[in-house]
Amino acid sequence: MLDKTGIALPEQVLSRFPKKEFLAKAKAIIECYQDIPCNPCQTSCPFGAILIGDDINVQPKLIVEKCTGCGICVTSCPGLAIMLAKTEVDKAVFKIPYELLPVPKKNEVWRAVNRAGEVIGDALIDSVQSIPKQDKTYLVTVKTDLNLLYDFITIRSKDHE
């Protein structure tokens, strides 16, 4: 499926989410499902929470306990394959990488989009961060309904429909 359409299967996605009790704090969801020669997630993590090893072809593993939810890996992954997820009472909070125009602004409401590119609800823009180290990959914090936790992947401007 994934290798025909580019859409990860629900069980693949679930396998990258830590148990619910960990999600009270933001954790990295690493959607790298293929052995490719790449390791910036590992080398960028200041807490040693992402493990690849010496063979850079190995898929990264998250050590959940060590992940502080800092988001450095999110803008370091060349494949834009990492986001952060956290749960609040009835909301899911994500930090996603974003490299398109227009750049979202705080408090705007954008579309929440799933891995197939379909609109699945609203996404409230909570903050937008761009520091030089991110090298023009914006780190966007968005809030959606909690039931979108495993489906949400990115945002789309309402003007882009």
Q: How far is the CB of 121 from another protein (least distance, A)?
A: 15
Cβ atoms of 99 and 136 within 8 Å: the answer is: yes
State the CB neighbour count (10 A cutoff) for residue 148.
Answer: 20
7 to 26: interface string for another protein, x by CB under 8 A: xx------------------
Report the residue from 28, 32, 45, 62 that binds another protein according to the rule CB under 8 A: 32
Q: Does 36 bind another protein (CB under 8 A)?
A: yes
| Nearest 10 degrees: Cα torsion 153, 94, 75, 157 | 60
Q: Does 129 bind another protein (CB under 8 A)?
A: no
Q: How far is the CB of 73 from another protein (least distance, A)?
A: 10
Q: Does 34 bind another protein (CB under 8 A)?
A: yes
**Dist CA 82 CA 28 (whole Å):** 7
- Going by C-alpha positions, the residue among 96, 131, 79 that lies closest to residue 26 is 96
- Count interface residues toward another protein (CB under 8 A): 44
| Of 77 and 85, CB closest to another protein | 77
**Dist CA 122 CA 74 (whole Å):** 22
Cβ atoms of 113 and 88 within 8 Å: the answer is: no
* CA angle (2 as vertex; 36, 76 as ends), nearest 5: 45
Q: Does 114 bind another protein (CB under 8 A)?
A: yes
Positions 51 through 90 that interact with another protein (CB under 8 A) = 54-57, 76-81
- Structure tokens that stand for 106 in this block: 């705080």
Location of structure tokens 């060349």: 78
Report the residue from 9, 25, 35, 146 that binds another protein according to the rule CB under 8 A: 35
Q: Does 37 bind another protein (CB under 8 A)?
A: yes
Query: Rule CB under 8 A: which residues touch another protein?
Result: 2-8, 31-40, 43-44, 54-57, 76-81, 99-101, 103, 113-117, 135-137, 153-154, 156
